[in-house]
Every structure is written in structure tokens, then in C-alpha cells.
Structure 1
Amino acid sequence: MSVGLLLPLAGLALVDSTSIGTLFIPIWLLLAPGRVDARRILVYLGTITVFYFAVGLLLAFGGSRLADLLGGAMDNRQVLWAQLVLGVGLFALSFRYDGKRSRRSGGVLRWRDRATSGDSSARWLAGLALLAALAEVATMLPYLGAVGLLTTSGLGAVELVGLLAGYCLVMVLPAVLLLAARMALPRLVEPVLVRLNGWIERHSGGMLGWILAIAGFLLARDAAFRLGLFD
């Protein structure tokens, strides 16, 4: 296990820690009226962590078997054309999520409404966590990159599982630290949370647009090269 592996993993985990599910919703839960119940928010964060960890295990240990089962299907020209169309579609969809359009259409505000309109029970928060995680699966590029690094690093199963677990914990670490600060120093932390919420409302739509654009570009570029369109 080298620093050359740990540093990229840590960077990707910190990028993942700024998503809707791992940071935005926790901030809104911390800003909700009434007393902050740390146990319930930890249930939410725990659900997010377990979901990502399970997806990572599935990808890391099931991906190679799936590739063997598919054989050369991913090199089939029809599949590659479908990948190209998907990539172009994601890239086109990204333009719906520029900052101005996102604010007009509600965008990320719909997630804020979900986070602050429930009954705040542990079961409801766990369900919200699963909903947010499922919604982000299509755009979890940093996580996919991290799993790719782990599976190609030649690590043993125990080390891979340990690093994957550590990655998932780092993903929710900023939210946990905000929760601890909110509990310990509410008067000092609440203005910071309000400013963070304002920044989220102004910029989150653009961030999602960039993620979709990058994902679409990478998919389309890979398919185009494998189809020989640039030869």
C-alpha cells in the first residue's frame, strides 16, 4: 500500500463528501427547526455509508465476474453505439443544470424540501438516505474512479475492503464534523451553516451539470474511439 494510492483515494473521497447525499442534506437537517437529534442524523449518515460500501464491494468483487460473463459484449458495435448515444444524451442533459435554470426550476431545492418536510424519525431519515444515494448512482464518478484504483492496485481482499470502508467513512466525515460542531457550539456554527446553505442554493445546479457533462463526454469519447470514428 503506497502513498501514491492513498492520496488519490483521499482526494476522491473528499470530492464525494460534497455531494447532495453526503453534505447538502445533512446541512439542511442541521438547519431544520427544533432540537438537533444527533442519533437520527447519524442513522442517515450510516445508511449512506453502508449503501456506498455495499455498492463498492459489488463493483470490486463482482465486476470482474460480470466482465467474464459478458465476454466481448462490450466490444459489440451495437453496444458501443448505445454507449455513444448515452454519453451524448448525458452531455446534452447537463445543460439543464446550469445555475440559472436550476434556480428557476427548483433544482436542488426539491431535495431541501424533502430533507426538511419529513417527520425526522430514524426510519424516515434512513429512507431519505437511500433515496439520495440511489439518485446519485448515475453520477458517482469519483467513487467509480476510486473503486477502479482499488481493483487494479493488486491489493489483497482484506486490504481492499479496509480501504473501501475507510473511503466511505471519509465521505461522511465533513458532515459528522459539522454535526459535532453544531452540537457543541450552536451559536457559532449556525451562521456558518446558513452561509453554506446559501452557497449550495446558488451553485449546486451548476455542479451537477458539470458532473453530467464530464460523465457524458468520457462515455461518448470512449465509444467513439473504440468505434474508430476518429481514424
Structure 2
Amino acid sequence: MGTDILIYLGGLALLDTLSPTIIGVTLYLILSDNKNLITRLSTYLITVMILYFSLGIIGILGLDYIIEAFSSAFQNKSVLFNMGLILFVVSFFIPTNKKNNILKPKTQGIFSIIVIGIVTFLIEAGTALPYFVAIGILSTINLPFYNKLLIIAAYNFIMILPGLLILLGYKICGSRINSKLIKIQNKISASTNSVLSWVVCIAGVILMLYSKDGSTITIK
């Protein structure tokens, strides 16, 4: 696997760090000022990561017709370019003024946090275009399965990294940054669709650039 493909996969992973749901729940848990912040937030992020990791495995090892569909699409550079162009155009038609309500656990228990993690996955998985593109690329690359697992795990770790960085910043600075976190929370709540529009747009651009790459892909 060439460095160029790693760059594409890394770019897609960075796009998935823009998840407004993950960041929104992270901010809510921090600002709710509970005593078990690390345990609750770690449980939430690990739940999301495990579910996305499982989705990645299913995408690579799942039903044959899914793999074949990914392989044929990602082997054909013209199809790739057209897919990217469609995503790029569609991104301009996504409304950007819809306000989003942040997911909030109903209780302080760990089970409630796990449920929120599952709900996050169900909400985000349907629009996780960068992740599906990354799975499609991985499904066409001739790599040992354990290497693909490592790549998927690294991708998902990058995806939840903003939550960990926000927690680290809060632990270092404490309540002094509460006002800034509240501003970020309000901005995320009011601009969820705007973020989705940018993610779809950039994912389309990455696909178009990937389609113009001169590198070849070996189907396993």
C-alpha cells in the first residue's frame, strides 16, 4: 500500500473527527460536572469506537455482493470521479440552518451512556460517507486482513480523538474553559447540517482526487 493511499485514508479519518454528535455529547458530559467524568466519557467513546470498528469489519468481510460492489466501483476511476462529483454537488443543496438537539443521557448510569453511544452510532453511521469511502478503498487493496484491522482501528481512534483532546484540555485547564466549551456546544448545536455539508463536499473532492491518482489498485 502506497503512501498516497494512506494520505487519502488519513484525510477521510480527519473528516470524521468533525462528528457534531460525538463532540456534542463529549461537551455535555464535561459541562454536566459529574464526578465520574472519565469513566462515563471513556465508556461513551469506546462504545462508539467498537460499533464503528464492527461496521468496518462487516464492510470488508461481509456479504460478497457488498464487497463486489465496493471493488468494482473503486476499481473504475470514472465511476469514482462521478461519485465524487455527485457528492460535491449534493453538498451545496444540504440545508445549513437546521438546529440540532444534543443527545443527553437520561440517567447518570453507565448503561445510559452505552445507550447514547449506540444512538450516536445509529445516527452517524447513516451519513458516515468518509468511513464508507475508506472501507471501499480498503476492500480493494491487497493487504493481509490483520493490517486492514489495524488501519480500521487507527481510523476509529482518530475519529474519537476530538473527544479525548477536549477531555485532556478540561483536565488541564479545569472550569476556566467552561465558557469557551459552552460557546462551542452552542455553535455545534446550531450548525450540524453545515458541518455535514462541508464533510460531504470534502469527501467528494477526495474521491475526485483519488480517481485522478495514477496508482493502481490490486483486487484481493
**Aligned amino acid, residue 58 of structure 1:** I
In structure 2, distance between residues paired with 1:8 and 1:213: 15
Largest Rg, 1 or 2 = 1
Structure 2 partner of 1:19: 19
1:108 and 2:90 are equivalent in the alignment: no
Mapping of residues 147-162 of structure 1, within 5 Å:
147-162=135-150
Structure 2 partner of 1:165: 153
Greater percentage in helix: 1
The Cα of 1:184 is off from its aligned counterpart by: 2.6
User: Which secondary structure does the structure 2 equivalent of 1:185 belong to?
Assistant: helix
The Cα of 1:126 is off from its aligned counterpart by: 0.6
The Cα of 1:66 is off from its aligned counterpart by: 2.8
The Cα of 1:45 is off from its aligned counterpart by: 0.3
How well do the aligned residues superpose, as a CA RMSD in angstroms? 2.9
Structure 2 partner of 1:38: 38
Q: Which runs of 5+ in 1 are unaligned?
A: 71-86, 216-231
**Aligned amino acid, residue 148 of structure 1:** G
Moved more, 173-182 or 198-207: 198-207
In structure 2, distance between residues paired with 1:57 and 1:19: 21
User: Which secondary structure does the structure 1 equivalent of 2:142 belong to?
Assistant: coil
Q: Is the 8 A contact 2:61 2:67 kept in 1?
A: no
CA distance 1:164–1:20, shift in 2 (3 Å): same
Q: Which runs of 5+ in 2 are unaligned?
A: 70-85, 204-220
User: Which secondary structure does the structure 2 equivalent of 1:139 belong to?
Assistant: coil
1:145 and 2:133 are equivalent in the alignment: yes
TM-score by length of 2: 0.72
**Aligned amino acid, residue 152 of structure 1:** T
CA distance 1:211–1:157, shift in 2 (3 Å): same
TM-score by length of 1: 0.69
Structure 2 partner of 1:119: 107
The Cα of 1:38 is off from its aligned counterpart by: 0.6
Kindly, what percent of the aligned residue pairs are identical?
Answer: 24
Mapping of residues 198-213 of structure 1, within 5 Å:
198-208=186-196
The Cα of 1:180 is off from its aligned counterpart by: 1.8
Moved more, 150-159 or 121-130: 150-159
In structure 2, distance between residues paired with 1:33 and 1:209: 32
In structure 2, distance between residues paired with 1:213 and 1:2: 25
